Amino acid sequence: MKPLPDYALSVAEQLRGMTKSGDLQADAAQLKVAEQLDRILSDLKARKPAAKTSALGWIFAQKRKAEIPIRGLYVHGSVGRGKTMLMDMFFELAPVESKRRAHFHEFMADVHARIHAHRQKLKAGETKQADPVPPVAVALRAEAQLLCFDEFTVTDIADAMILSRLFTELFARGCILVATSNVEPDNLYRDGLNRGLFLPFVDLLKRHVDVTTLDSPTDYRMEKIDSLPVFLTPLCTETSKQMDAAWRHVTGGAPYAPRHLEVKGRQIDVPCAAGRAARFSFRDLCERPLGALDYLEIAREFDIVFVEDIPFLGPDKRNETKRFIILIDALYDAGIRLFASAVRPADQLLTEAKGTEGFEFDRTVSRLFEMRSADYLERHQETRAGLVPVEQ
């Protein structure tokens, strides 16, 4: 993100300044959310040490402030309404050193890795603490007082079953949560397996955060589209030829071969790799038991990813649809250049938009459009290493 201008003393002031300069258009819904984020900034600033009029008075003042919990914020709304932009502004302005911002899937992958490491210590006799959640929460809280999550969503039963206990510990230790999502809290993990066991987390969440909707009438992502020929349809001989030509172009005709990545003792097969480019079929990535951690590893290892033969996603492919959503999230967040071929355009792939998948797939479609835009290509070129030629 660019350095904040002088007028950016708050999120609302930054929005007004950018509107006045012509960088943004006025948006009352965004301003309302900005003011709610500024409430958190104000609460955080109030916790900073005051002038020491006397040692004893300062101690009691700090004790009173520490006893007042700071409520977080959960912002939900349709894709492309500016949630990420507002989070960018807020996180930059938050006056705390111990803060962390992450995509929710990435955060949960970290949590599960820490839990696994604790269990290994227990097995080796290095700890007597049988329950890994409290020590993991202590470590997370020590690293960050403020947690900011982009795209808060729950699709995995392993995540669903642990969230209530984890955040009970985090909130008890004064952790503050700010999150963006496409769905309201009551629709998290909707239709998920054993959802009744997840519902206590929803109640816990609403006790510790304010919930607000960002319902701006404009989808700003769709306004920026300058499509590039990188999402090809339909699935036919001509499309295959175009994908082959794109592959030759981005690899410069370099030799390619299968590769294998290691993730927590598991192996991810990469059927075709050349330098920092990888080529997969939809089946390779979404019809196998892969998850967020695997897709994050692919995004770390490669700058350009090809995904071919994306089919219609009907009710019979629910698991594949969930994996595809998580895959696109991981590639998008890492700024990966995506080339894809599909049976139909992105907004026609999901044949039955029901439940959580319907909400989540709206975001996936928006991101697939944005990943074809000139703005996204510029971000890719700025943030990725560029070790292979990239189509201009």
Taking only the tens place, the pLDDT of each residue in 65-94 is: 445 789 999 999 877 788 888 998 999 999
How much is the pLDDT for 125?
Answer: 94
Asked whether the predicted pLDDT for residue 5 surpasses 50, the reply is no
Domains of the chain: 11-213 (3.40.50.300), 224-383 (3.40.50)
Rounded mean pLDDT of 35-56?
75
Q: Residue 287: is its pLDDT beyond 70?
A: yes
Predicted confidence (pLDDT) per residue in 143-164, tens digit: 999 999 988 988 888 899 999 9
Mean local confidence (pLDDT), 347-373: 85
Does the structure show a pLDDT above 70 at 208?
Answer: yes
Structure tokens at 150: 């982009």
Write the burial class of residue 368 (CB in 10 Å: 0-12 exposed, 13-18 middle, 19+ buried): buried
Read off the pLDDT of each residue in 10-18 and give the average, rounded to a whole number.
91
Distance of alpha carbon 178 from alpha carbon 146, whole angstroms: 8
Structure tokens, 344? 């139909």
Q: What is the mean pLDDT of the chain?
A: 86
- Give the pLDDT score at 48: 64
**CA–CA distance, 187 with 91 (Å, rounded to integer):** 26
- Mean pLDDT for 108-129 is 94
Handedness of CA 222, 226, 230, 236 (dihedral sign): positive
Is the per-residue pLDDT at 364 higher than 90?
yes
Collect contacts of 20-25 with beta carbons under 8 A, ≥24 apart: 25/218
